[in-house]
């Protein structure tokens, strides 16, 4: 480099396409999501319900073959306020990404919270899924556009602590 203001790297956009093999438990989950249902799996030893299911209980090391159908309602387990836009996503920052714990589940998954001012979102807030129109459903959790408040009373965060049976 001749000049200290010159970069010793260059910036370039790249595009990568890949195929993800979901595995049997996640495949079943995604097939159900394509029908507007959310299914998890229950551990035969500790009764923990995993959604999305992974096919086994990490606590007990046993297969989780019992399927459980869950509601699309739950609560905010934790969240973060995002101030950086997602490329190609129309949602304007700041927005909230939250770990959603569905009723009857013992783990949470990441999704968006909308239809409420960011500063009013809180841990324990009751939320429900807002689904895309059915004709747009695919085998993706993106069938749910986001979660919105139900208006029900908040739950106590300590009620989310799992106690194995």
Least distance in angstroms from the C-beta of 51 to Zn ion? 14
Number of residues that bind Zn ion (CB under 5 A): 7
Give the C-alpha separation, 161 to 11, whole Å.
45
Cα distance between residue 155 and residue 153, in whole Å:
7
For residues 71 and 74, give the distance between their C-alpha atoms in angstroms, rounded to a whole number.
8
If one asks whether residue 30 binds Zn ion (CB under 5 A), the answer comes out as: no
Nearer to Zn ion, 80 or 162 (CB): 162
Burial of 1 (0-12, 13-18, 19+ CB in 10 A): exposed
Q: Please, which residues bridge with residue 101 across strands?
A: 75
Nearer to Zn ion, 59 or 156 (CB): 59
Write down the least CB distance from residue 83 to Zn ion, Å. Answer: 38
Q: Of 10, 138, 14, whose CA–CA distance to 87 is shortest? A: 14
Tell me: does residue 105 bind Zn ion (CB under 5 A): no
Omega before residue 94 within 30° of 0, cis: yes
What part of residues 33-62 is at the interface with Zn ion (CB under 5 A)? 43, 45-46, 48, 57, 59-60
The answer to whether 34 and 139 have CB atoms below 8 angstroms apart is yes
| Cis bond before residue 29 (omega within 30° of 0) | no
38 vs 107 by CB, closer to Zn ion: 107
Q: Decide: is 68 part of the binding site for Zn ion (CB under 5 A).
A: no
Min dist CB 44 to Zn ion, Å, is 8
CB 110 → Zn ion: shortest distance, Å? 22
Q: Is 112 in the site for Zn ion (CB under 5 A)?
A: no
Nearer to Zn ion, 7 or 163 (CB): 163
Q: Which parts of this chain interact with Zn ion (CB under 5 A)?
A: 43, 45-46, 48, 57, 59-60
């Amino acid at each position: 480099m001749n000049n200290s203001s010159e970069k010793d790297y260059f910036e370039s956009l790249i595009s990568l396409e890949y195929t993800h093999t979901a595995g049997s438990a996640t495949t079943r989950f995604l097939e159900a999501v394509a029908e507007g249902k959310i299914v998890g799996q229950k551990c035969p030893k500790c009764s923990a319900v995993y959604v999305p299911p992974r096919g086994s209980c990490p606590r007990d090391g046993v297969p989780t073959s019992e399927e459980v159908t869950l509601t699309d309602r739950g609560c905010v387990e934790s969240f973060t306020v995002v101030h950086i836009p997602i490329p190609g996503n129309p949602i304007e920052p700041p927005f909230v990404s939250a770990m959603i714990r569905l009723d009857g589940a013992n783990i949470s998954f990441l999704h968006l919270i909308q239809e409420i001012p960011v500063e009013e979102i809180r841990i324990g807030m009751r939320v429900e899924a807002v689904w895309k129109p059915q004709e747009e459903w695919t085998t993706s959790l993106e069938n749910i556009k986001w979660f919105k408040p139900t208006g029900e009373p908040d739950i106590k965060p300590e009620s989310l602590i799992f106690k194995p049976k």
